[in-house]
Amino acid sequence: MTIGNLAPKKERKSRKNKGVIDENAPLLPKGQEDVVFDEFNGASFTGAVFNLSTTIVGAGIMALPATMKVLGLVLGISMIIFMAFLTEASIELILRFSRAGKSASYGGLMGEAFGKYGKILLQISVLVNNLGVLIVYMIIIGDVLSGTSSSGVHHAGVFEGWFGEHWWTGRAIILLVTTLGIFAPLSCFKRIDSLSFTSALSVALAVVFLVITVGITVVKLFNGSIAMPRLLPDVTDVSSFFKLFTVVPVLVTAYICHYNVHSIHNELEDSTQIRGVVQTSLALCSSVYIMTSLFGFLLFGDGTLDDVLANFDTNLGIPYSSVLNDAVRVSYAAHLMLVFPIVFFPLRLNLDGLLFPSARPLVLDNMRFALVTIGLISVIFLGANFIPSIWDAFQFTGATAAVCLGFIFPAAITLKDRHNIATKKDKILSVFMIVLAVFSNAVAIYSDAYALFKNSSRRE
C-alpha cells in the first residue's frame, strides 16, 4: 500500500510549515488551532494512528459477520481486503490533490475543485454519514445494555440480565444517562488530539472484544460444536443474487475515515508522517475486521444477527458462558462510547461551516460551540430511540453519503484534475470507483426496496 506524502519535499518537518489555510474550511483548519492552542506542539505518530484507527473501527465491525452470512467466508474476506486497498487509493488521491492545491481540509479541496456548491455537497455528505454512524453507535449501546428484539425473539441486555426489567434499565433511560454522562463531556474538546488517550483505550477495548471472541470460537472448534461454515454465497435465484450487493454499503461504511484525515494531518508534529499513519491504521483495522468476521461467523453461522453483539446473550456451550457474554458486550459498548467523540468532531465542524460559513472560527465562539453541540447530540439521541436496526441505518448512510465521501468525491476531484497531476492510471481507477459505487449502491437500494415490498405483501 502506498500513500502520497502531503508535504512538499523541501518542507521542513514542522507543523508550522503547512500550506495556505482557508479559515472557512469545514474541517478544523490549522490556522484556527494556532490562534487558540499556541502551546500545542503537535500530535504524535501514535496518537494520530489511534485517532484514525478509532475513526475507522466503529460500529461497522459489528455488521461484518452478517456480511459473511450473505457472501460466505471466501468472498467476504476477499471483499474486506479489496475495500481496504480501494480505501487507501482514495485517501492517496485526496492527499495528493490537497498538497497540490494547498488545501487544509476535505471541504476546501472540494471547494477548490467544484466551487461553493462542491464544498456544500461535501459538508452535507459528512452530516448525513456521521449522523447515521453516531445513531448506529447509540442503537448498539442500547441493544447491548437494555436489550433488543429480532424476529419476535427478545435478546436481553446486560442490565436486564444483572438487575431484571425495571424502568431504569429501559432503552431511553440508559441512552439518556450515557449521553449526559459520557457523550456530552467527551464532545466538548476543541482539538482532536485531546482525544488520543480515549482513542487508544477504545482500540484496546475492541481488541479485548476480538480476543474473547476468538478464544470462545477456538474452544468450540476443539470440542466439535461448530459446524463447517459456508465458504461461498448461496445464490439460488435472481433475488438472492441481488442480495449480495446489499453488503456493499456496509463494507463502504466500515472503512470511511476520509473526513478526519485532514484534521489529523493538520495536528501532526511531523506532517510527513501522514503516510505511515494511514498505512498503519488501515493495516490494523483490516486485521481486526478479518478476524472479527471470520470468528464471529464461525461462532454463530447462519444464526448471525445484523448486530453480532446481540448474539452474545445465549448459552455458548462453554464454561463461564454468561461472564464471557457480558465481557464481550460491555467491552464493545464501552469502545463505542469512546469512539463517539472522534466521529462527532468533524460532524460539528461541518454543520457549523454549513450554517455559519462567514462566522469567526467555531473554537473562538463558546456560545455557538455549545449550541451546535447540544443540538446535534439531541438529534442523535432521538434518532437512536426511533430507528430500529443498525442494518437499516448502515444501508442508508452507506448507499448515500459514505460512498460519496469514500469514492465518488475523490474520483471526481481526480477527473477534474485542476493541477494536471493525475496519471492515466489515476483516471482509470477513478472511473472504476465511480462505476462500482453507483452500480453497487443502486442495486443495494433496489434489493432492499424489493425485499421490503415483498415482506409487506406477505403480511397482507
Determine the average pLDDT of the residues in 297-325.
76
**CA-based nearest residue to 81, from 290, 233, 252:** 290
Q: CA 341: distance to chain centroid?
A: 12
Instruction: Give the pLDDT of residue 12.
Output: 40
Could you tell me which residue, 7 or 98, shows the higher pLDDT? 98
**CA-based nearest residue to 316, from 303, 330, 306:** 303
Q: Give residue-wise pLDDT tens across range 377-420.
A: 998 888 887 775 655 555 566 557 778 888 899 999 999 988 88
**Residue 195 predicted with pLDDT over 90:** no
Q: Give residue-wise pLDDT tens across range 99-142.
A: 888 888 888 889 888 888 888 888 888 888 888 888 888 888 88
Determine the average pLDDT of the residues in 367-371.
88
Percent of the chain whose predicted confidence (pLDDT) is above 90: 5
DSSP code per residue over 248-294: HHHHHHHH--HHHHHHHHHHBSSGGGHHHHHHHHHHHHHHHHHHHHH
Determine the average pLDDT of the residues in 152-162.
67
**Residue 5 predicted with pLDDT over 60:** no
The rounded mean pLDDT for the chain is 77
Q: Give residue-wise pLDDT tens across range 71-109.
A: 888 888 888 898 889 989 999 999 999 888 888 888 888
DSSP code per residue over 150-202: ETTEEE--HHHHHH-S-GGGSHHHHHHHHIIIIIHHHTT-SSGGGGHHHHHHH
Locate 340 and state its grid cell.
463517539
Domains along the chain?
45-458 (1.20.1740.10)
Provide φ and ψ at 32, rounded to 5°. -65, -40
Locate 294 and state its grid cell.
471470520
Instruction: Give the pLDDT of residue 242.
Output: 67
Locate 330 and state its grid cell.
460491555
Could you tell me which residue, 197 or 241, shows the higher pLDDT? 197
- Total residue length of the chain: 460
**Residue 66 predicted with pLDDT over 60:** yes
Instruction: Report the run of H or E that residue 109 belongs to, with start and end.
Output: helix 106-146
Determine the average pLDDT of the residues in 241-264.
77
Instruction: Give the pLDDT of residue 398.
Output: 58
Determine the average pLDDT of the residues in 263-274.
80
Give the number of other Cβ atoms within 10 Å of residue 171's Cβ.
19
**Residue 448 predicted with pLDDT over 80:** no
Q: Which of 114-128, 130-144, 196-210, 314-328 has the highest mean pLDDT?
A: 114-128
